[in-house]
Amino acid sequence: MTEVTSRNVAGDKPIQIHDPTLRDGHHAVRHSLGAEQLRAYALAADAAGVPVVEVGHGNGLGASSLQVGRARLSDDEMLTVTRDALTNSKLGVFMLPGWGTIEDLKNAIAHDVDLVRIGTHCTESSLAERHLGFLREQGVEAHAVLLMSHMATPGKLAEHCARLVEFGATGVGIMDSAGHYLPADVTERITAMCGAVDVPVIFHGHNNLGMAVANSIAAADAGASILDACARGFGAGAGNTQLEVLVPVLERVGYRTGIDLYGLLDAADVAERDLMPAPPTVDSISIVSGLAGVFSGFKTPVLDVSAREGVDPRDVFFELGRRQAVAGQEDLIVDVALALRGAGTGDRS
Amino acid sequence: MTEVTSRNVAGDKPIQIHDPTLRDGHHAVRHSLGAEQLRAYALAADAAGVPVVEVGHGNGLGASSLQVGRARLSDDEMLTVTRDALTNSKLGVFMLPGWGTIEDLKNAIAHDVDLVRIGTHCTESSLAERHLGFLREQGVEAHAVLLMSHMATPGKLAEHCARLVEFGATGVGIMDSAGHYLPADVTERITAMCGAVDVPVIFHGHNNLGMAVANSIAAADAGASILDACARGFGAGAGNTQLEVLVPVLERVGYRTGIDLYGLLDAADVAERDLMPAPPTVDSISIVSGLAGVFSGFKTPVLDVSAREGVDPRDVFFELGRRQAVAGQEDLIVDVALALRGAGTGDRS
């Protein structure tokens, strides 16, 4: 500690950084990034040596819609400009089966994507079978991630990861979509997953409990070899793991990312200046949704319904957590609010 | 993890939260809080059951000055309004000998403060001897903290803590003033300190490397029994440990703070609405100053001097870290910038 920490401290354990700033971060600005913004950030990330740059609508290929928000640019436009900007970094895309289809995958392949990630709810890996099979046939590198992973046990996650590998995934992992994990939770899950598969294991953190960096380090220490992180923590709600913090911390504890620190800070400065009005912060609702283990995308409807029904939105989040609500079940919010109103606010334990 | 996390989860290991939102947080708004702001936050923290509310100029009693900034209110005014607002929480003050004097302590005692903290640089505990002795004579509870503590070894910190206890401190601890620590660093230091003294041990974190909450948990696990944290992370540079995140995370891992979660979130909402235009964020310079182990208050002069001399401010920070620069040595910034300019920017390893 009294020794100097300089620009070029680097460890020797290789780890791969996967950067979804231009995809998951897109949630923070309602999918509104334009071509010049995508280009500026992609060029900076490429220059810094970031291994994978993922781009798209926040919900992935094919997801632009009235329901979750229309992206400013089409998938075609986003893929064209980002492909053009990347010289060394791989171009990645994300897809949730149901939002996107095989046709969207074909289109992405036509744009020469290097890596496709397929996401499913943590207990629904079978939804990815057909898409992973298609990508294997096409010879495209395909990874798979389990969303809202705190809702399944380590054993179940390990089983689903093994199944995803059978389907063709050459990398598998978990997202802490609700920002619910503490480091010991991550250690337990990544350890179980690493014991079940022989492919690289992925961890994707969120910062609702201020633990995104610490959880990512715990994941690496437990054997994860691909970590997701976004410039400035750019992402939905409390944000994702902050890329330019994670990288030097990883290097300091003995990992080697291959990323140049100053280049990375320059990319973060581009994100700060060109992509976002202000970075994500951890507000009270983010904390409650993280504690309750509920997707932070519920924030706006929970606040609206709670105000209308005269109940405490924090109670609504905790009750949604008890009921294991997941994205798509927004109708539950009204049920919960009415039940709490009936029970009276004095009884909100 | 699949069990529900609700409002009232609490562990059974007692731990005390010390809240310097209205003192250390004051740095973030150039010591400009007015009486109504102090009152609003103190009332909310008191209602939530926060054990200690610390108030004052960011640099403590007597520090308001042209050099580090004049506070909007005098110490007298700040103490009067905060004392008046607190029913259950203790009223705390902070003093750096040299900035404040025995006269300032007498004045604070006349305002009926419950707890005085004396701070010194990590290797200068002897500077606190006279003040701690005075407070012991007066029968006022007195704690002592070592600043920029990453610049001393665990053994040295333990020695200085033991000396502070001899001087009269009934609580001793460390501040991670530069935001340089990772959890293993904290564990090592707190363990050494707990082995050397029989009084409560204090940890005060900063968030430059995204680790303030994780470091605070590491401190508790190593035996610290008093943790500092500020609403919304309100503080200089990248900010302090975020209070309303730390408390529920502590409770989840088995500690008992005695603080009501909803009351605490309400206090954080008061801070968000009434105290700050925007909470602290981790920008590129915060990361570099944390990595380099340099006080983040150097940011503005480093940026100014670097622009003037045409050198990279990040190089300046790393070189200041190598030279073990501490607050008060701002003249070094010019020396470093000139040396780097002489060496040429191409040689900035």
pLDDT one-digit tens code per residue, B97-137 = 999 999 999 999 999 999 999 999 999 999 999 999 999 99
CATH of domain B13-275: 3.20.20.70
Q: Which of B254, B328, B68 is nearest to A184 (CA)?
A: B254
**Other CB atoms within 10 Å distance of the CB of residue B174:** 29
What is the pLDDT at residue A277? 85
pLDDT in tens, A246-275: 999 999 999 999 999 999 999 999 999 999
| Helix, strand, coil fractions of chain A, as percent rounded to 5 | 50, 15, 35
To the query of whether residue B18 is one of the catalytic residues in this protein, the response is: no
What is the pLDDT at residue A7? 63
Position A348 confidence tier, pLDDT thresholds 50, 70, 90: very low
Tokens at B88, concatenated: 């259950």
- Do residues B214 and A183 lie in contact, with contact meaning Cβ atoms separated by under 8 Å? yes
- Pick the more confident residue, A343 or B170: B170
Q: Is B299 on the interface with A (CB under 8 A)?
A: no
Contact residues on chain A for B340, CB-CB shorter than 8 A: none
Environment class of residue B63 by beta-carbon count within 10 Å: exposed (0-12), middle (13-18) or buried (19+)?
buried
What is the pLDDT at residue B86? 98
Percent of chain A with pLDDT over 70: 96
- Do residues B172 and B113 lie in contact, with contact meaning Cβ atoms separated by under 8 Å? no
pLDDT in tens, A8-28: 566 789 999 999 999 999 999
What is the pLDDT at residue B329? 84
**B206 labelled binding-site residue:** yes
B262, closest residue in chain A (CA to CA): A314
What is the pLDDT at residue B291? 96
| Residues in chain B, pLDDT under 70 | 1-10, 345-349
Report residue A34: phi and psi, to 5°. -100, 175
User: Average of pLDDT values for A181-195?
Assistant: 98
Percent of chain A with pLDDT over 90: 89
Q: Which CATH class is domain A284-347?
A: mainly alpha
Q: Kindly report the average pLDDT of chain A as a whole number.
A: 94
Q: Is A153 on the interface with B (CB under 8 A)?
A: yes
Q: Where in chain A is the domain with CATH 3.20.20.70?
A: 13-275
B313, closest residue in chain A (CA to CA): A262
Report residue A53: phi and psi, to 5°. -115, 115
Give CA angle at B38 (B220, B209), nearest 5°. Answer: 40
Residue window 103-142, chain A: list those with CB within 8 Å of chain B: none
User: How far, in Å, are B54, B117, B126 from residue B59 at the CA level?
Assistant: 12, 12, 19
Contact residues on chain B for A180, CB-CB shorter than 8 A: 1, 5
Q: Is B153 on the interface with A (CB under 8 A)?
A: yes
What is the pLDDT at residue B8? 59
User: Average of pLDDT values for A216-231?
Assistant: 98
Report DSSP state, residue A4: P
Report DSSP state, residue A67: T
Contact residues on chain A for B252, CB-CB shorter than 8 A: 182, 291
- Do residues A306 and A316 lie in contact, with contact meaning Cβ atoms separated by under 8 Å? yes
Q: Do A281 and B279 touch (CB under 8 A)?
A: yes
Q: Do A245 and B282 touch (CB under 8 A)?
A: yes
Q: Which of A254, A241, A252 is nearest to A202 (CA)?
A: A241
- Do residues A135 and A170 lie in contact, with contact meaning Cβ atoms separated by under 8 Å? no
What is the pLDDT at residue A297? 81
E-assigned strand segments in chain B: 13-14, 16-22, 52-55, 90-95, 115-121, 141-147, 172-175, 201-204, 226-228, 255-256
Q: Where in chain A is the domain with CATH 1.10.8.60?
A: 284-347
Q: Which of A281, A311, A336 to mutate to test the interface with B (most CBs of B within 10 A)?
A: A281
What is the pLDDT at residue B7? 63
Q: Is A211 on the interface with B (CB under 8 A)?
A: yes
How far apart are the CA of B344 and the nearest CA of chain A, in angstroms?
A: 16
B268, closest residue in chain A (CA to CA): A284
Report residue B263: phi and psi, to 5°. -60, -40
Place of tokens 């409807």: A301
Q: Do B245 and A209 touch (CB under 8 A)?
A: yes
Q: Which of A39-43, A87-91, A291-295, B168-172 has the lowest mean pLDDT?
A: A291-295
